Amino acid sequence: MRKESGIISLLKERANCKTCNLSNLCLPVGISEGDVDKLDSIVHRNTPYHRGDLLYKQGDRFRGLYVVKSGSVKSYYEDREGLEHVVGFFLPGEIIGLEAIHSGCYNCTATVLETTSVCEVPFEQLEQLTEEIPGLQHQLLRLLSKEVHNDCGMVALLGNNSAEQRVAAFLVSLSSRHHSRGLSSREFNLSMSRAEIASYLGLAVETVSRTFSRFQEKNLLMVERKNIQLLDINALSDIGGQCSTELHQRSGRRHA
């Protein structure tokens, strides 16, 4: 078996594969196996991080992107009072640091939620590679665009107000993101704390907790600490509104 490469995930955009099969991933986007080697050569494979470790801090100079190989990451920024505001969670296959290309320094802090391994992709070198690898540029643009798309969805969601809608949409999003990595969409781990969920969704911790309980009473899910099972994804999807489906699923329509 070949070394698994984080950059592959970067380019493939959640193809359905558990282990990184190169030809599966790159051919469909027009990148040959030879080119994959070039990509691989610029990627740093960091040793695993542990809960609380930082990938980068708010204000650090932009070095490159990070691709989650396993585990999960949150990104947040601190306001003047030192309060933390979570702006995103990243699961395997997802890319961190895209917002820093523009200003040349990271404007969030990225920290690891559990034992996590990531690849570091130096951005300058990646940009240079676009000259050698046809199709790479297009993939990068698509990647960025997708992030914009997801964020739009988040804005719409947070404008949706009700706590139930937000929590439901959040869960459906996690579910579909797990699914797109070939993992179970029904049962997974909440690597983030209730407080982190609350911060992300703009709710109080207690509200998140109560909403979980209410969903559980309605038999929509079963949750115990970090472990969660979605019993009725359709119902949750309905509660969450279009956001939860539209926005975090690639091409798929509604779960019918």
Positions in the binding site for a copy of itself (CB under 8 A):
77, 79-80, 85-88, 98-103, 107-108, 127, 130, 137-138, 140-149, 151-152, 154-156, 158-161, 199-202, 241-242, 246, 250-251
Beta strands in 5-137 (DSSP E): 44-45, 54-56, 64-70, 73-78, 84-90, 95-96, 109-112, 117-122
Distance in Å, CB of 48 to a copy of itself, minimum: 26
SS3 call for 9: helix
Tell me phi and psi for residue 219, to 5 degrees.
60, 30
CA atoms of 229 and 184, how far apart (whole Å): 10
Distance in Å, CB of 185 to a copy of itself, minimum: 20
| Residue 85 binds DNA (CB under 7 A) | no
Q: Which stretch binds DNA (CB under 7 A): 102-110, 122-130, 134-142, 190-198?
A: 190-198
For residue 195, the partner it binds in a copy of itself, DNA, none, with Cβ less than 5 to 8 A by kind, is DNA
Distance in Å, CB of 159 to DNA, minimum: 9
Member of 163, 183, 222, 235 binding DNA (CB under 7 A): 163
Tokens for 81, please give them.
């009072």
Within 206-235, the residues that bind DNA by CB under 7 A are 206-210, 212-213, 223-226
The DSSP annotation for 113-174 comes to: SSSBEEEEEEHHHHHHHHHHSTTHHHHHHHHHHHHHHHHHHHHHHHTT--HHHHHHHHHHHH
For residue 79, the partner it binds in DNA, a copy of itself, none, with Cβ less than 5 to 8 A by kind, is a copy of itself
CA atoms of 78 and 84, how far apart (whole Å): 5
Q: Quick one: 162 or 219, whose CB is closer to a copy of itself?
A: 162
Distance in Å, CB of 180 to DNA, minimum: 25
Taking the CB of residue 248, how many other CB atoms lie within 10 A of it?
Answer: 23
| Residue 202 binds DNA (CB under 7 A) | yes
Q: Quick one: 20 or 65, whose CB is closer to a copy of itself?
A: 65
| Residue 243 binds DNA (CB under 7 A) | no
Distance in Å, CB of 201 to DNA, minimum: 8
3-state secondary structure 176-211: HHHHHCCCCCCEEECCCCHHHHHHHHCCCHHHHHHH
Q: Quick one: 98 or 205, whose CB is closer to DNA?
A: 205
For residue 38, the partner it binds in DNA, a copy of itself, none, with Cβ less than 5 to 8 A by kind, is none
Q: Quick one: 244 or 249, whose CB is closer to DNA?
A: 244
Amino acid, res. 53: D
3-state secondary structure 215-242: HHHCCCEEEECCEEEECCHHHHHHHHCH
The residues of the shown chain that bind DNA, judged by CB under 7 A, are 161-164, 193-195, 202-210, 212-213, 223-226
